[in-house]
Chains A and B, each alone.
Chain A
Amino acid sequence: MSSWLEPLCCTRTGAAHTRRGTPCQDACGWLRFQDREGAPVQVMVVADGHGGARYLHSDVGSWLACHVALGTARQLLRAEASGVGVATLRATEERWQRLLAQELPRALHRRWLRAVHQHWQSLEPGEAGDGFSPLLYGTTLGLVVMTPRWWGQTGLGDWDLVRVWADGAQLLSEECDDSASGEATFSLCLPDAAAHFASRSAVETLAPMAAPFTLLLSTDGIRKSCSTDSDFLALGCYLGQAPAPVDADTTIDLAASLDRISSQGSGDDVSVAIALWRPGSPDRPSLESAAAQPAAGTGSQVHPSRPRSLDQRRGSAVAERDIPAGHPEDGAGAEASWAAGDTPRLQDNSAPAQEKKAQSRSLPRHLWLWLAALGIGCIGAVALVVPEPLSQRMRQQVGQLCATPATIRPLLEPKRPTFHGLRLGGIRQGQLLAASDRDPLKALIALSYDPVRGTLSSGPEFQGLQPCPQLQQALRQLWLEAQPPAINPLPKPQPAPGRATKSRG
């Protein structure tokens, strides 16, 4: 049976955004799971926030688009049969075509709207602006589904999809340029966004003896950096022929190539998601073989670009967690039900230093040390210096809560947006700590957050307050429930001299 190798995703902040200190608007990621019949399914996504004052939070919008799209795809598609072992493949394909063109867009659009609204609600008054509008989060979204028998695409906006063979490349999908505006694109923030997916939706059967090929899904920053479409396809051939197995050098080379494309081209943020299909059994652990392994352990947080042994993969799956009680089953909440083995790999270069540190939760310490040795990424522990008056207020807050443990959970529950905001980067710890007079409970939540591990802090600043076990347990649980999917940043090459590695700001 044919197989898809594990996708390779990379987002790089554009040269112009780096120079201006503006946030990266791109995001990308991928996810694997099994369908109803146990057949492996992979999904990869890219998104490009619109940027600019009118779309103030579109960097968050693109990240949430990837996040929600992967989660929604999994939830819908795992209940389906991809056609392995059934005779009526055509009927199955038609079903999936309908799913990609209609059902998935409707569901993910609805969830994205809820997710961005939830993010907006988590903002401090000064950041929230006049009022909520999906326009603030406008983003494109491209999505590719891969199964052993067929693959499909859907999405909206100005992303591109290229197929690369050994002897050439073909532009499979692009946004129709029938607009009078040079930079206009369809967006998830449109009220009728779901209706615009159909024109970019398609399903294609995989011939068992066909030649291997690579799918390259990219945001518009790459194509707009090329003088002509011929140059773009030539570039696609280069990017799409990443060696397998992918190793750290490959991902560093890819990041360097994307930086070069942006700096010599459009200056825009650039993202690619690359997946290789080939007939027969793969040389390295493929989706199929990985999916066949029994679930055990919690070792899924390995850098996606590093080769992973079967043992590591075997250790990557854990028993599926239920959606926590009371957790909204939408947006980020829906993804709380993912098994760790299905953890989406969201690659996002847009996080600020603090958020990068939060992202580091997904990597084992030895990998961080390895990355640190290479000078890669924004990693390291966060040293929160808590002034004494603030510390006293925190102690009072802790004392009050621990004096009546039954009140802990009811008091913390309404603060869920604060947990989510800190995790997503929409709320900064320092802001809450600075406003501790006004809201000491939020300040305590901020102090309890360990952005490196993405969970309850074990540092002296929080533990020094001597929180009771009930408070620690409640906070730990809420941080767990606020946990977005694991983010596995690709290693970064050494920044060029004089060029800051800019992330989401």
Chain B
Amino acid sequence: MAFPDVQLSRRPLHFIYLCDCSGSMQANGKMQALNQAIRQSLPGMAEVARQNPEARVLVRAVSFASQARWHLAEPTPVDQLQSNWVDLQAEGLTAMGEALKLVAAALRTPPMEQRALPPVLVLISDGAPTDDFEDGLRILMREPWAQKAVRLAIAVGHDADLEILQQFIGPAPHRAAPTGLTPTGLTPAGPAAGGAAAAGPAADRRPGEPAPRTGRRPLQASNATSLAQYIQWASTAVVGAASMPVSQVGASSQMDTNVPLPDLPPTVIGQVVW
């Protein structure tokens, strides 16, 4: 009996940027730095995709200013994107809630595939929403794929509304980070710190018990270098982790992320520009 004509497929991994393109992003070269960071991250993301052929890494981007719209509407294989990325332009307000609704529609099944890997959503913003963010978030989080997604947030500068970004990515850490914040607002990455998934003191753990994952905080970029670093991390390390998911124990207090997040790279303490 011949092998049947069934559609076997590598599991798609949808990576979606939600980029703040409000007028404030024009200040101090933030928009330019964001475009450059995304461009620079694409070869690394393509390499990660090549190393994980069982996942089809597909990139999309939403820009939001006075209105939200798909900047890159078609799920695009990352290797096709490197020469085709069109720069984002900044002007207008901050329709972040509307952007979340756009993404919510894209995460419905269909068009989302039944067998997709948990999507990666990266929200980048330098300010506060000017529309109904809560409504957008509510609509987004009604979608199972949004609940399953790895949701990251990058605050560009210190004017970003961290509370809003925290709502997007989920519950904040239960405990304070073990060390003080760097000028970029990040805990230095390390085996215990875990960057975006800060861990509590090892002394509280029983032998053999993995480090507790106590939630994540928005990444806070205060200059072009750190912004590029976080985007690079999201598009390579996180994509790599999401490309080869391991099962996680359901109903476990150990689990707060759908994909175990890799550590952030060591943070370069640079000048606070934004």
Contact = CB atoms under 8 A, between A and B. Distances in A.
Contacts, number: 159
A339 to B, nearest CB: 35
B247 A185 contact: yes
Interface stretch (B7-15, B38-46, B157-165): B7-15
Of B3, B148, B249, B251, most buried by chain A (CB within 10 Å of CB) is B249
Interface string B187-220: 0000000000000000000111110000000000
B254 interface: yes
A180 B147 CA distance: 5
Interface in A237-268: 237-238, 241, 257, 260-261, 264-268
A35 interface: no
Interface string B79-116: 00000000000000000000000000000000001110
Contacts of A55: 246-247
Contacts of A261: 8
Of B8, B11, B147, B258, most buried by chain A (CB within 10 Å of CB) is B8
B248 A136 contact: no
B6 A183 contact: no
Nearest to B252: A190
A109 B53 CA distance: 36
Interface stretch (A82-90, A126-134, A320-328, A491-499): A126-134
A236 to B, nearest CB: 10
B261 interface: no
B10 A267 contact: yes
Contacts of A20: 244
Given A135-B209, A266-B54, A189 B249 contact: yes
Contacts of B246: 50-52, 54-55, 183
Interface stretch (A221-229, A340-348, A447-455, A481-489): A221-229
Nearest to A239: B4
Secondary structure call for the B interface = loop
Given A184-B250, A190-B251, A229 B258 contact: no
A228 B115 CA distance: 7
Contacts of A185: 247-250
A158 interface: yes
A186 B144 contact: no
A247 B244 CA distance: 35
A225 B250 contact: no
Q: Indicate the size class of the contact surface on chain B.
A: 35 or more
Contacts of A268: 54
Contact of B208 (A131, A138, A180, A182): A131
A177 interface: yes
A15 interface: yes
A54 B260 contact: yes
A126 B7 CA distance: 45
A231 B250 CA distance: 26
Nearest to B6: A231
Contact of A226 (B7, B117, B251, B252): B7
Interface in B97-143: 113-115, 117-118
A180 B144 CA distance: 7
Secondary structure call for the A interface = loop
B178 interface: no
A186 B8 contact: no
Nearest to A158: B247
A132 B115 CA distance: 34
A242 to B, nearest CB: 9
Contacts of B76: none
Contacts of B145: 182
Contacts of A93: none
Interface of A: 15-16, 20, 48, 50-55, 129-133, 135-136, 138, 140, 157-158, 177, 179-187, 189-190, 220, 223-229, 231-232, 234-235, 237-238, 241, 257, 260-261, 264-268
Given A181-B248, A183-B118, 18 more contacts: A20-B244, A51-B246, A52-B246, A54-B254, A129-B208, A130-B207, A130-B208, A133-B207, A135-B209, A177-B144, A184-B247, A190-B252, A225-B9, A228-B7, A231-B8, A234-B4, A238-B4, A266-B115
Interface of B: 1, 3-11, 52-54, 113-115, 117-118, 144-145, 147-149, 206-210, 244-252, 254-255, 258-260
